[in-house]
Structure 1
Amino acid sequence: MTSNNKKIIYILSALLLIGIIFTASVLSTSATSTTTDINLTPGQNNEPTSYRIEDWKKIAMHYYWHGGDIKKAEEEIFKGVTLKGNYDVVAQAFKEAIHLDPFDTDLKISLASTQIIQKKIPDALHTYKQILNLDPNHFDANLLYGVYSKINDDEKTYQKSIAKLRTLDATKTNVYLKKFQTTEAIMKEKINTIAPSGLPQQKHAIVILGYALAEDGSMQPTLIERLKVGLSLAKKYPNSKIVVSGGVPKQGKTEASSMNDWLISQGIDKDRIVQENKSTDTVENALFSISKINELGIQDATIVTSASHIRRALTVFREASDFYDKLNQTNSKRTFTNVVYLDYPTVEEAQKVIKDEKLVIYRDLFRVSGIWQYPKLQR
C-alpha cells in the first residue's frame, strides 16, 4: 500500500470516528430532552388546520402537567387574554382548538373536564349541553351532564339524564347506578385515625398513598405523616405486606422509592415492602396498586392517606378492584378499610363531605371507570 493510500485511509477513518461521536451526542441530547422543551407557539394560519389543533393540544397538556409562565402565556400565546392559573391556560387552549374544529366532541369533553377541575360547574354543564345539542345520544356526555347537575343541586336534570341513558343502554346505566350507590356509601364510612383492631392477619396489604415530592426530591410533611400512620399499622399487623404507591420522580427519586427507604430506616423488613412506582395520581394509584395486590394473591387492603383524600381513594380503589374482577372473571369480595393522617382540626369536621369534595370524588370515579377526562390525551 502506498503512502498516499495510507493517508487517505487515515483521513477517512478519522472522519468516520468524528461522525460516530457527533451522532452519539445528538442521540444523547434527544434522549435527555423532556416535554418542557416542546415548542409552545401555536401554529400560523398558513399551516394545515390539523397541525394547529395539535399545537393547541400540546399547549394544554404542557400546562396541565408542568405549568408555565402565565404572564408570558397571556402576552405571547393568547395575545392579552387574562389568565389566573395553569388551568386557565389549559381551558383557553382547548377553546382555541374548538374554534378551529367546532365539530370535535372530544375537544369539548376536554374543555368541560378542565372546567370541572376549576370547579366551574355551570361552565362545564354548558359545554356538556353543547355536546348533547350536537349528539343527543352521546352516552358519556349524558352521564357526566346528569351527575354534575345533581352535584350542582339540580335533581330534576339528573333524573332526566338517567331516563335518557336507560333508553341508550339500560344495562350500562344500571352498572353506573350501582357504582353511584357504592360511592355514596363510601362517603358515609367512618374515618379511622388509629390502627383498628380485627383486621385480617393473612392475605392483607397496607397501601400507603404517595404525595408529591419537593423539587429537591425530599418528602414533604404530608407524606411523612402518612408514612407514620402506615408504620403504626405495619407494627400492629406484622404479617401484612406494605404497598407504597407513587411514581412521579424528582431528582431521580419516586415517591414510592422514598417511602420504601423511610420505612426501612424505621425498622421495616425490606421484603415486606412492594413498590408501585408508575402512578401519577390517585386514579393510577388505585389501578396499578390493585394490579400488584392481585399478583401477590392478597385478599383485603387498608388504605392509608390523608383524611381529606380518603373518600376519593376508597372510591377509586373499590372501582379498580371491581374492574379487575370483571377483567379476570373473578369475585374477590375484597374488603377495604382505612386509617388516615388527620389533616382537619377534628374528626367530626373530617367526616363532612362538601360539594367540592363530592365533585372530585365523582370525577375520579368516572376516570377509573374508563372515561378519560382528556380523550386520547390524559386519563
Structure 2
Amino acid sequence: MKLLNKVRLALLLGVLLKSVLAIDVLSMPQLDKQTQIIQLQQQALTYLNSGGDLKQFESKVFLGVTIKGNLDVVEASLLQAHNLAPERLDLSYSLAATQVLKGDLSKARQTYQMIESQVPNYPVTWVYEAGYANAVGESATFANYLNKLKQVKSPEMIRYREALEIADDASDLQINIMQTSEIDQRSDLVILVLGYALHNDGSMDDKLVKRLEVAQSVAAHYPNAKIIVSGGVAQAGVTESFLMRQWLIDKGIKPESIIVEDKSVDTVSNALNSMALIKNLAAKQVILVTSASHIRRATAVLEQAAANLNYAVDVNNVVAWDWGNTPNVVPATSLEKALIVRDTLRTAGLWQYPGMLR
C-alpha cells in the first residue's frame, strides 16, 4: 500500500511538473515582451524627467512653464512599446500625450484617431479628440464629440466634459497687470503665488522673483489676506516655497500671513494642493499670481481643482509680465490651448501617462 501511494505521488508530481514547465515555456515570450515594455516605459520616464533638448523649445513656446526631458527619446521609447503591444491603450495614450507635449498636435490627433478605430465606443478618446479639435479651431468636430460625450452619464465623463469647458473659457481669460478693485477688503481672500524652478545652486530664477514682486504689491493692497506660496521641487536642499516665504518676510510680510505648500512638483499639483488649503481656509476669493504666459493654464487647473472638491471660489489674477516689450496680451496659440486642455484634464483625473505619471 505504501509503495502504491509513493507511485501515485510520483505520477502526480510528474504531471504537475510537466504542467509547470509547459506554462513556463509558453509564457516566456510573453514575459520577455512585458519586460521589454517595462524597460521602455522606465526609459521614457527617465528622459521625461531629465534635462534635455527642451530648453530652446521652452523659451520659445512655454515661457513661464518649467519643462524637462528629451521628448524625442520619450516618443521613440513609447512608440516601440506601443508596437510591442498595440492593444494596450495606456501605451497609446502615453504616446499621444508625448506628441502633444512636443507640440505635434497633428501627429497626436492621428494617434487618438487610431485609438478610436481600435475601440470605437471608448468615451475617454472622445474627450481628447474634442479638446484638441477645439484647440486647433475645428469647432464642428469639437461640437460633434461634445454631443457624443453628453450621451455618457457617468460621473467621470461629466467631470471631463466640464473640464473641457473650463479649458475653453481660459483661452479668453481677462489678464490683469495690477490688482483689481473689484475685490473687497475681506478676510476670506487668499493670494496664491506659484513657484518656478530653482537654479541648480538653489537660487531663484528672475521669473520667480518677478512673481514675488507682484505678490508683494498685491499683499500691500490686501494686508489682511493670507498668502500661499506653492512649490515643492528642491535644489541644493531648499524648495521653491521655502525661498519664496523668506523673500516675502524679508520684504516686510508678516510670517503668520504666509502658508507654505511644499509638496507640489508642477502646475497641476500646485493647483490640487493649494485648493485643498484654500478650502480649509474657507476662502471665497483667490488672487492667482504667476507669469502672464502661464496664467491661462494655471487658472484653468485651479478652477478644475475647485470643481473636483465641489467648492465655489472666485479666481482672479494679477500677473508678472513676461511677454517682452509688447504692451498687449498675447493671444493663446493652438499649442497653448492644447496644453491647457491636457493639464485641465490631468487635474480632473485623466493621467497623461496612464499608470506612470499624472
* TM-score for both structures, normalised by structure 1: 0.78
Q: How many residues align?
A: 316
Q: How does 1:164-313 map to 2 (within 5 A)?
A: 164-169=148-153, 175-200=159-184, 201-313=186-298
Unaligned runs of 5+ in 1: 1-44, 71-84, 326-331
Q: How does 1:122-161 map to 2 (within 5 A)?
A: 122-161=106-145
Q: How does 1:42-191 map to 2 (within 5 A)?
A: 48-67=32-51, 86-169=70-153, 175-191=159-175
Q: Which has the higher contact order (CA 8 A, sep 6+)?
A: 2
User: Is 1:364 aligned to residue 349 of structure 2?
Assistant: no
State the SS of the aligned residue for 1:165: helix
Q: In the TM superposition, what whole-angstrom CA distance separates every residue of 1:248-287 from its partner, at most 9, and x where no partner exists?
A: 1111111111101111111111111111111111111100
- The answer (yes or no) to whether the contact 2:170–2:300 under 8 Å persists in 1 is yes
Q: Alpha carbons of 1:286 and 1:372: their partners in 2 closer, same or farther (altered >3 Å)?
A: same
Partner of 1:333: 312
Task: Tell me, in whole angstroms, the C-alpha distance in 1 between the residues paired with 2:267 and 2:248.
Answer: 21
The one of 318, 342, 356 aligned to 2:321: 342
State the SS of the aligned residue for 2:328: helix
The one of 346, 352, 361 aligned to 2:331: 352
Cα deviation for residue 362 of structure 1 reads 1.1
Cα deviation for residue 354 of structure 1 reads 1.9
Task: Tell me, in whole angstroms, the C-alpha distance in 2 between the residues paired with 1:189 and 1:47.
Answer: 50
Partner of 2:356: 377
State the SS of the aligned residue for 2:237: coil
Task: Tell me, in whole angstroms, the C-alpha distance in 1 between the residues paired with 2:81 and 2:172.
Answer: 41
Cα deviation for residue 169 of structure 1 reads 3.7
Partner of 2:20: none
What is the aligned-residue identity percentage? 35
Task: Tell me, in whole angstroms, the C-alpha distance in 2 between the residues paired with 1:258 and 1:198.
Answer: 31
- The answer (yes or no) to whether the contact 2:90–2:354 under 8 Å persists in 1 is yes
* TM-score for both structures, normalised by structure 2: 0.82
C-alpha RMSD of the superposition? 2.3
- The answer (yes or no) to whether the contact 1:137–1:168 under 8 Å persists in 2 is no
